Amino acid sequence: MRAVIQRVSRASVSVDGVTVGALNSPKGGLLIFLGVGPTDSIEDVDWLVRRIVKLRVFEDAEGRMNHSLMDVEGAAMVISQFTLFGSLKKGNRPSFNRAALPEQAVPLYEAFCKGLSTALGRPVAAGRFGEHMQIDAANDGPITLIVDTKDRDF
């Protein structure tokens, strides 16, 4: 699994002009773009959830990034993003054959959303898998990280 994680002050996702998810916490939170690969499993889901909820990307009283999403009681929003497994190896048009097929990706995406919600003890906003979505976000920092469960020291 690959995740692009952005610290945001707010974020929302719309499908066909209708908002289907929003991160509206006064403390901000994390916008997580999640891609699922063909070798991913529930173990990857569990590891990634544990990693994300402990990421220390929120400032303490001295302005140092010492607090996690759990510490600040921030919100989270997850967007499915198969393009994280895109390849430009052969030309300028991306190939997405390294992404998991929906039959595998949907259950793992849903398990990630559920696991993150359980770990945080509150609902997690999400987009709609496989839909064309419009994401509106205010990146805070900016702070953007990439995590890959197959390359854990990325």
Is 140 a domain residue? Answer: yes
Q: Is the peptide bond before 142 cis (omega within 30 degrees of 0)?
A: yes
Instruction: Say how many domains are in the chain.
Output: 1
Residue 44 host element (H or E):
helix 42-54
Query: pLDDT tens for residues 97-107?
Result: 889 999 999 99
CA distances from 74 to 27, 30, 53, 107, 128 (A): 5, 8, 10, 25, 22
For residue 109, the Cα-to-chain-centroid distance in whole angstroms is: 10
Q: Give the residue among 51, 113, 45, 53 at the shortest CA–CA distance from 78.
A: 113
- Structure tokens that stand for 82 in this block: 């198969």
Query: pLDDT tens for residues 40-74?
Result: 999 999 999 999 999 999 999 999 999 999 999 99
Is 134 a domain residue? Answer: yes
Is 153 a domain residue? Answer: no
Is 60 a domain residue? Answer: yes
For residue 124, the Cα-to-chain-centroid distance in whole angstroms is: 11
The CATH number of the domain holding residue 86 is 3.50.80.10
Is 113 a domain residue? Answer: yes
d(CA 135, CA 91): 28
Q: Which domain holds residue 59?
A: 2-148
Is 78 a domain residue? Answer: yes
Is 154 a domain residue? Answer: no
Rounded to two decimals, the pTM is: 0.94
Is 139 a domain residue? Answer: yes
Question: What pLDDT, on a 0 to 100 scale, did the predictor assign at position 23?
Answer: 93
